Amino acid sequence: MIFPLMTDEQMKAADEETLRLRVRELQSATKVWQDIKIIQEQQTRILHVICDRLQRLEPIIYALHDIRMELRRLRPPPPHVEPTLYDKVSVNELEITARIAHCLDNAGIKTIGQLLRRTEADMLREPNFGRISLRELRDVLAERGLQLAPKVY
């Protein structure tokens, strides 16, 4: 197949069209670049606003922490029954669910006295003993006027 030869004018027109296409591509790329730059500037401004607000909140957060620690210090310790009175009473005397009884057995807790020496955190570390079990155990103990050992601060 023989390609027809282009005249000088046709070649010049084709070159001009190619040049126009390249210019449009560059203009489009420049617009995208400008949009990206605007978005980055907006993100930077938002980040500065967030940082400024966090810096304003910092003293409030520290003050709240100090208040919380002071309230902990001032809180009277909860009444606690001397565990030795219950060292001979089996945990089976308590009306607890089978799940809690199984957890206590696995933890080696056989008497109410041993149970009363444990804190809530100690109990939550036991396998399969979660918040619901802890709530149920607290309720059962509270019915008898008992509670787990107080937290150590």
Q: What are phi and psi of 111, to 5 degrees?
A: -120, 160
Q: What are phi and psi of 101, to 5 degrees?
A: -60, -40
**Residue 13: pLDDT band by 50, 70, 90 thresholds?**
confident
pLDDT of residue 74: 78
Q: What is the pLDDT of residues 44-64, one digit of tens each?
A: 999 999 999 999 999 998 999
Q: Is 76's pLDDT higher than 70? A: no
Host H or E run for residue 31: helix 8-74
Q: Is 140's pLDDT higher than 70? A: yes
**Would the pTM of this model clear 0.85, i.e. be above it?**
no
Q: When comparing pLDDT for 136 and 72, which is higher?
A: 136
| CB 148, CB 123: distance < 8 Å | yes
Dig out the tokens for 36 from the structure: 């990206």
Q: How far is CA 54 from CA 42, 49, 68, in A?
A: 18, 9, 20
